[in-house]
Amino acid sequence: MNKLTLVLTVLLLPTLVLAAMNPREIMIKNDEARRVHEFEAQCKLTTGEKIKNFTLYRKVQKDGIHDSTLTRFHEPAEVRNEGILIVENATGRNDVLLYLPNFKKIRRVESQQQSGSFMGSAFSYSDIAAPHVDDYTYKTLREEKCPGAEASAQTCAVIECTPANDDVKERTGYSKTVLWVRLDNYMWVSGDYYDTDGTLFKKLEAKQIKMVDTQNQKWLAHDLVVQNLKTKDYTHLEFSKVKVNGGIPDSTFTQQNLQKTN
Q: For residue 191, what are the β-bridge partners? A: 179, 204
Cβ burial of 69 (10 Å; 0-12, 13-18, 19+) is buried
The total number of structural domains in the chain stands at: 1
Does 6 reside within a domain? no
The reported pLDDT for the residue numbered 3 is 54
Does 237 reside within a domain? yes
pLDDT in tens, the chain (262 residues): 555 554 444 455 554 455 568 999 999 999 999 999 999 999 999 999 999 999 999 999 999 889 999 999 999 999 999 999 999 987 777 899 999 999 999 999 998 899 999 999 999 999 998 889 999 999 999 999 999 889 999 999 999 999 999 999 999 999 999 999 999 999 999 999 999 999 999 999 999 999 999 999 999 999 999 999 999 999 999 999 999 999 999 999 999 999 987 6
Q: Give the chain's end-to-end CA distance (angstroms, integer).
A: 64
Number of Cβ within a 10 Å radius of residue 72: 22
Domain of 44, CATH number, reads: 2.50.20.10
Domain span at 215: 12-256
Alpha-helical (H) ranges within the chain are 3-20, 23-34, 125-128, 166-172, 255-258
Residue 34 CB contacts under 8 Å (≥ 6 apart), including other chains: 130, 187, 218, 219, 220
Report CA torsion sign: 9, 15, 18, 19.
Answer: negative
Does 5 reside within a domain? no
Query: Which H/E stretch holds residue 178?
Result: strand 174-182
Does 262 reside within a domain? no
Does 83 reside within a domain? yes
Q: For residue 60, what are the β-bridge partners? A: 67
The reported pLDDT for the residue numbered 20 is 62
CA distance 31 to 207: 17
Number of Cβ within a 10 Å radius of residue 34: 20
Does 206 reside within a domain? yes
The reported pLDDT for the residue numbered 10 is 47
Does 209 reside within a domain? yes
Number of Cβ within a 10 Å radius of residue 134: 14
Q: What is the DSSP letter of 130?
A: P
Does 104 reside within a domain? yes
